[in-house]
Chain A
Amino acid sequence: MATAVELQNVVKSYGNLQVIHGVNLTIDPGEFTVFVGPSGCGKSTLLRMIAGLEAISDGDLLIDGERMNAVTPSERGIAMVFQSYALYPHMSVYKNLAFGLETARLPRAEIAKRVQRAAEILQIEPLLNRKPKQLSGGQRQRVAIGRAIVREPKIFLFDEPLSNLDAELRVQMRVEIAKLQQRLGNTTIYVTHDQVEAMTMADKIVVLRDGRIEQVGAPLDLYNHPRNLFVAGFIGSPKMNFLQISAAGIEADADITGSAAGGGRDVPMTLGIRPEHISIDPDTGAALGSLKVVLVESLGGQTVVYATAANGQTITVVLDGQVAVGETLEAFFDPAKAHLFAADGNVVAGARLPHIITLV
């Protein structure tokens, strides 16, 4: 039976410096939740507070409805995989896996059984007698995960587990961790600064910035409906284009200026269009004007184009096929897939854009 985690107004302060500002979050049983955000956003701190490695300054941590603030890390029913793996360097792989079970004074036969099973799952059986220094980065990663599995925890915590691996291995381990989680069905919290990891692995993404939650939702939810400029810019690659436009001609269900003054039609607004939603097909919808290609990244089937708009702003476009530097493109976009943000950075719901956009 999987386990729920709940954060209620959780605060972390170091002396007078507050780094987590009252986080509220519910993680459903069996859910794969990813904390994502730039360096220093507090995602690792939050994870460590759940693990019990950092004290919770204020607010409550509930695991299966039980308050865990004062419970020691080993009694919270969690297991954690560290960024550095944190393997015990002087112990064999077997001993690394067995250490927690030996500490818990499990019978020797039971320890052997569990270690064997974890080793099978992670395909590290031939490595059991080796020391960590004799392992490659990927193998160490597996041992670190194995050490988490053997404890049969209710919750897995991962703190940027793939950031020390090379690109190819990272993709491979990403898939394996996701499969493992599906197979074991444990509630999992995974911290990363890599939005691609977040998008590909998560059931639920929690975007953090400066110790606050910016948005919580399923990956495509965040991609399709970012709540503000930060989330819009953080989720998706290449990054969403932000164009300064005039509010004139825009209609919306609500006050589009996002300011209490309201009504003003000349306030600057930001139009967000993802590079993959810009095309050179006039049937796409609204016109974006002429773009002059200044740089291309040819990926073969697709080309990432960096082009300059009429107002001098650089716009990123992902196009099928191949494009040359110096070409001029007539660009169009689908207004339904564009996002309009008010001056305060929050998205304007239900905005209807005019057919021709004026960049400012």
Chain B
Amino acid sequence: MDITASDPAARTNRRAATGELSRGFGSRERYGYLFLAPWFIGFFGLSVGPMIWSFYLSFTNFDLLTDPKWVGASNYIRMFTTDPKFMTSMRVTLFFVVLSVPLKLIAALTVALLLNRGMKGLPIYRALFYLPSLLGASVAIAILWRQIFAGNGLVNKFLALFGIAGPSWISNPSYSLWTLIILSVWQFGSPMIIFLAGLRQIPADVYEAASLDGAGRWRQFIKITLPLLSPVVFFNAIIQTIEAFKNFTPAFIISGGTGNPINSTLFYTLYLYQEAFGFFRMGYASALAWVLLALVAIFTAFAFLTAKYWVHYD
């Protein structure tokens, strides 16, 4: 028989059945946990568990083959005292973060402002500008990027049209990091979409009031748009900063995993990877990972502390 909700007998039976179950086993809760299980397993098995494990490992020497050996804080001490590559990789990453994040946000906001002027074909442009964000962190794009900026790459072929002989951008330590910054800025699509959504939220009549108050475009941008967009700027800045600290794939592909030339693209994450999977110094790599986490946390906390001075919530 087909049991339907409109059949009173069936409904009573079912209620009795579930009532019995819940009395016996707390089944309602159990089903809930059952459905949550995939997430629980993922979260505890793949995130929290490894994090605790790596925190433990950061106080050990561990080469994957023999048991971890407790060494106390010596991994951390070594990092800050006797490891020049740690400082180099930190410098590279900070340089990248400090330049790529603002440049990317400026690019995202500029394009969002242009798109927000109500042009025809907006959905098409929006999708086109967003595309690099989807592709950007992929291996394929990084390989493509390497070709574009190579000695005989697209950029130099273009420059050759004007008689300029460009260097090999990716193998010149003066420019190599910049190619990665440009690659990162090129992926401005996702903050752009968020900026665009934020701009749409600002009521048109506020701009009308401002224009009656005599404010020109620039003053409206500075005094109205930016403050009203500040929660979105704040959000994008934090997300992009965290992303930039974590930047790995493009650096790995473009330098072939070396961080060369002369460590100019030795990102912190790349160094961490080398220590872990090149030299099998899992203990030291774990310590590096925790320092990165602390660094990101400090940056984020600092951003939140300054927020009350420049982020305006309605």
Contacts and interface: CB of A to CB of B under 8 A. Distances in A.
A100 B213 contact: yes
A70 to B, nearest CB: 15
Nearest to A132: B314
A104 B214 contact: yes
B213 A151 contact: yes
A271 B247 CA distance: 82
Contacts of B215: 74, 99-100, 103
B228 A73 contact: no
A53 B211 contact: yes
A90 B227 contact: yes
Interface in B214-236: 214-215, 219, 223-224, 227-228, 230
A227 interface: no
Interface stretch (B90-98, B114-122, B124-132, B200-208): B200-208
B210 A99 contact: yes
B28 interface: no
B65 interface: no
Interface in B256-314: 312, 314
B187 to A, nearest CB: 30
B209 interface: yes
B164 to A, nearest CB: 46
B214 A84 contact: no
B213 A103 contact: yes
Contacts of A179: none
Interface string B242-259: 000000000000000000
Give chain B's interface residue range (CB within 8 Å of chain A): 10 to 19
A51 interface: yes
Contact of A74 (B206, B213, B223): B213
B77 to A, nearest CB: 47
Interface residues of A, number: 24
Interface stretch (A75-83, A295-303, A310-318): A75-83
Interface in A20-75: 51-53, 72-75
B3 interface: no
Q: Could you say which of A75, A79, A89 has the most chain B C-beta atoms within 10 Å of its C-beta?
A: A89
Contact of A86 (B206, B219, B227): B206
B206 A88 contact: yes
A88 B312 CA distance: 11
A133 interface: yes
Contacts of A87: 206, 209
Contacts of B213: 74, 99-100, 103, 147, 151
B199 to A, nearest CB: 15
Contact of A84 (B205, B210, B219): B205
Q: Could you say which of B205, B209, B219, B223 has the most chain A C-beta atoms within 10 Å of its C-beta?
A: B209
Contacts of A79: 212
Contact of B209 (A52, A80, A133): A80
Contact of A73 (B211, B219, B312): B211
A89 B314 contact: yes
A74 B208 contact: no
Interface string A79-116: 11010101111100000000110011000000000000
Nearest to B202: A89
A89 B214 contact: no
A82 B205 contact: yes
16 contacts: A52-B212, A53-B212, A73-B211, A74-B213, A79-B212, A82-B209, A86-B206, A87-B206, A88-B206, A89-B312, A90-B230, A90-B312, A99-B215, A100-B213, A100-B214, A104-B214
Interface of A: 51-53, 72-75, 78-80, 82, 84, 86-90, 99-100, 103-104, 133, 147, 151
Given A79-B212, A90-B314, A100-B212, 20 more contacts: A53-B211, A73-B208, A73-B212, A74-B211, A74-B215, A78-B212, A80-B212, A82-B209, A86-B206, A86-B209, A87-B206, A88-B209, A88-B210, A88-B224, A89-B314, A99-B215, A99-B223, A104-B214, A147-B209, A147-B213
